[in-house]
Chains A and B, each alone.
Chain A
């Protein structure tokens, strides 16, 4: 593919049709089209409304616990002997991951729109928990669609959702992972158009979701940028985040996109390796296609049928990616690389042992890439890694991988 001419700014997308170059768009059934247009209108009004902003900021501070710290990972830095590594501690947010940032914004929007029922899809269960949490906080019923495989491997989160009063509906179609959960959530939405708000958890789906989720998650990068300027007096040399659908990554990246001196690294799930089909590296190994309302890089066969993919991390187990990432890849602004299950597992253990912080397996992918990058950089250089979530939910998976019974 020809590389498009470099734009004046990487932060202006999407256009009015919801396109980031050839990516994004509104590929949905007619039944949903009026809902999506209505959502866009309400979102445009809300984001310009100081009262909306104020309520969101208040909840962010007092409910989520923002700003999240920018933590200098001193021992990891020493261990690797290269660039100074900072963790943006989204794991310390209420509910244990970055997902709450998006959910609070969207539930306030759902209330503005007069919607009375929340649906969501979830992979690892982090978004499901965050959705169930905000639904409980605002007294709205919530149904979470979750692949049957994921229900099995993320039991603690399933139980948390039950405790929060949400109904978890296992989806057994396909491999029973995030893709299938999203199909089922869309089927629910197409059926319950009057009262239901679909709280999408990642920066993907039909316009305006990719833009809206990005804007709500950009608090991560905005804070990190101000924090590093305060701590180090300069911008970082590199920033790193894991990409499944890509909401934590776009949230960190977006405020830095026009700082050309900052190298930006997205980390995809390399699973068992890119030679076979047991991975979720849609940008490294896929091609552009149309799924779940947007055009983006997808894992698919030569007939345009979507593949299931594989990752040790349920949160990265998705054959697509948010459309803005696809555009950032083709524009060359962001470098996307795969990390294998085994490498993520090693990063998980190392971080736990020497920093005393258990990362989510999603975040462990980002850390694994930082472990590769840091030694290639000078000791005077700085890197920020998005520590997107805490790993308590993954201890069963990791235990199984290490041959231990818990």
Chain B
């Protein structure tokens, strides 16, 4: 099985550069604005899109992404609408991989089989579900793989040598290394430690390893890009969207343009990095 994710990483390997993986929250602050942001991402230099699914209780997220999820829910976003957003995006872009990221309960309530069928049809390539560790693989991971959708696992600093093989079993698409313990958007750790961690994971898998949590600037993106196959940026993008609105919620700048400007800078940083030797 190859997916858009596999094909994209294969192409980037030929180009000898790491991927820029960008996260935004589906429906933040409303459907149309979020769709315009999503459509602006590839041209600005995003190689893989992470489409956030809002959840009322985002236990692993920091304040920025918590607020984004609440804005999206307030704006009427639902899992059905997030799938629709992917469909709408696909009418103009059939190449850029889309990974849906969020928590399990909305999918469980939607119905796992129905969700996988609709996600596949909507052009979703992968899933990152924060609260489904390998111990719960029978819930969604195994059915997703059967449906031809990648299940991307998080590896963390607490994932030791003994546990890594467990985490990597059934992982596909890429491995998302969370470079620190903590919630999303926390401070960036020592990048030299990141290189060591990526090497440790690569000793166990041929999958690309992308690194996230805390990357905010082009310089950081370059530093991480030198050590990994991809750089994930989320909180910085979500914060840029939030800054387009004043305290009363009035729009003071164009969110799609603000995100595009940020992503262009990050993409320049990533492109300066050379792909780490696997």
Contacts and interface: CB of A to CB of B under 8 A. Distances in A.
Interface of A: 17, 25-35, 173-174, 179, 183, 186-187, 190-193, 287, 289-293, 295, 298, 300, 302-306
Given A29-B131, A29-B154, A30-B155, A187 B57 contact: no
Nearest to B180: A191
Given A303-B79, A304-B108, A305-B55, A25 B158 contact: no
Interface stretch (B37-45, B86-94, B159-167, B240-248): B159-167
Nearest to A207: B135
B105 A34 contact: no
A25 B66 contact: no
Contact of A26 (B109, B133, B156, B186): B133
Contact of A27 (B55, B136, B153, B183): B136
A27 B104 contact: yes
Interface string B131-158: 1111110000000000000000111111
Most buried by A among B59, B79, B80: B59
Nearest to A287: B109
A197 to B, nearest CB: 15
Given A34-B160, A290-B105, A303-B80, 7 more contacts: A26-B133, A33-B163, A173-B66, A191-B181, A303-B109, A305-B55, A306-B56
B109 A304 contact: yes
B194 to A, nearest CB: 16
Contacts, number: 115
Interface in B34-60: 54-60
A33 B56 contact: no
Contacts of A35: 158
Secondary structure type dominating chain B contacts: loop
A304 B181 contact: no
B79 A304 contact: yes
20 contacts: A27-B133, A27-B136, A29-B60, A30-B153, A30-B178, A31-B154, A31-B157, A34-B158, A173-B66, A174-B56, A187-B183, A289-B105, A290-B103, A290-B131, A298-B105, A303-B78, A303-B79, A304-B110, A305-B56, A306-B56
A298 B186 CA distance: 30
Most buried by A among B132, B153, B163, B167: B132
A21 to B, nearest CB: 15
Nearest to B159: A30
B23 to A, nearest CB: 16
B265 interface: no
A64 B134 CA distance: 40
A34 B157 CA distance: 10
Interface residues of B, number: 44
Contact of B167 (A25, A30, A289, A295): A30
B130 interface: yes
Interface in B57-88: 57-62, 66, 73, 78-80
B196 interface: no
A193 B181 CA distance: 7
Interface string B157-191: 11110010001000000000010011100100000
A28 B133 contact: yes
Contacts of B61: 187
B183 A190 contact: yes
> 10 closest pairs, A vs B, by CB?
A304-B109, A304-B106, A191-B182, A305-B56, A31-B156, A303-B78, A304-B105, A33-B133, A186-B59, A27-B131
A280 B157 CA distance: 38
B105 A306 contact: yes
B107 interface: yes
Nearest to B58: A183
A322 to B, nearest CB: 17
B135 A26 contact: yes
Given A30-B156, A31-B178, A187 B109 contact: no
